[in-house]
Amino acid sequence: MYWLILAVAVVTEIIWALSLKWAATVATWQASSVPIILSFLNMGLLALAMRGLPAGTAYAVWTGLGAVGVIIGGVFLFGDRVGAVQAGFMTLTVIGVVGTKLFAQV
């Protein structure tokens, strides 16, 4: 159950970070309120996941997958460019997150 909550927190983290760039391009108070609302939801979900998972494990998964998701989202939504070396390091990040999950003491 806590891993599922963490997965939702990761998706919320990705949407939150992408909404920051979107809000900066739209530049209205309504658009600016979206990342603020998502940040509260995001932190609440992470805190809830940490009730049943070690803090370091939850945070590593959350930040690692969040970062990779934001990079991928930026490519599709904003035309960001990713080089081969960056893609390689993103792969290493995902491998690290999978290893963290597989060997978690939970």
Domain tally, the chain: 1
Q: What are the pLDDT digits (tens) for 6-34?
A: 999 999 999 999 999 999 888 898 999 99
Q: What are the pLDDT digits (tens) for 20-77?
A: 999 988 889 899 999 999 999 999 999 999 999 999 999 999 999 999 999 999 999 9
Q: Provide the residue range defining the domain that includes 48.
A: 2-102
Q: Measured on CA atoms in the order 58, 21, 73, 33, is the torsion positive or negative?
A: positive
Rounded CA separation 6/8 (Å) = 5
Looking at residue 48, its pLDDT comes to 98
